[in-house]
């Protein structure tokens, strides 16, 4: 990965929050359970332009760059992508803005 523009996030950074979610599967089962309890809308997202973009830019990047194809399935990665997109809340305190998952807020919003 080569980064030459420092004023904006590199496109490959879009996988970081998803990777942080996936990490929980093997390191914090309680947190993984909370993440998995959130809605992902995978069925609604399948086949959309965003779905195809995420598959290429996030799934394939995680598999190829980090060599994690044997560790995480496409379904697991795409579910985490959906969870972050549907339940993520912007934290505009810093530049660039960050996205956080807050399970209780998400549960209230989607109930």
User: Looking at residue 90, what is its pLDDT?
Assistant: 81
Query: To 10 degrees, the CA torsion angle through 67, 68, 70, 73?
Result: -140
Q: How far apart are CA 96 and CA 8, in angstroms?
A: 7
> What's CA 51's distance to the chain center, in Å?
12
Residue 101, strand partner residues: 88
Residue with tokens 């904006």: 8
β-strands 98-101, 88-91 pairing: antiparallel
93 pLDDT tier (thresholds 50, 70, 90): confident
pLDDT band for position 6 (cuts 50, 70, 90): low
pLDDT band at 3 (very low <50, low <70, confident <90, very high): low
Local structure of residue 3 (DSSP, 8 states): -
State percent of the chain over pLDDT 70. 78
DSSP state of 46: T
pLDDT in tens, 74-83: 999 999 999 9
pLDDT of 89 reads 80
Stated pTM of the model: 0.81
Helices H / strands E in the chain, number of each: 7, 2
3-state percent helix, strand, coil for the chain, nearest multiple of 5: 60, 5, 30
pLDDT tens per residue across span 56-67: 999 999 999 999
């Amino acid at each position: 990965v080569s980064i030459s523009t420092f004023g904006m996030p590199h496109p490959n950074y879009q996988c970081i929050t998803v990777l942080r979610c996936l990490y929980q599967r093997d390191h914090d089962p309680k947190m993984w359970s909370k993440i998995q309890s959130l809605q992902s809308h995978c069925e609604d997202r399948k086949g959309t332009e965003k779905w195809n973009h995420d598959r290429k830019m996030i799934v394939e990047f995680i598999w190829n760059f980090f060599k994690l194809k044997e560790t995480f399935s496409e379904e697991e990665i795409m579910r985490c992508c959906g969870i972050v997109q549907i339940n993520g809340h912007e934290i505009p305190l810093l530049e660039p803005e960050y996205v956080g998952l807050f399970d209780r807020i998400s549960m209230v919003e989607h109930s």
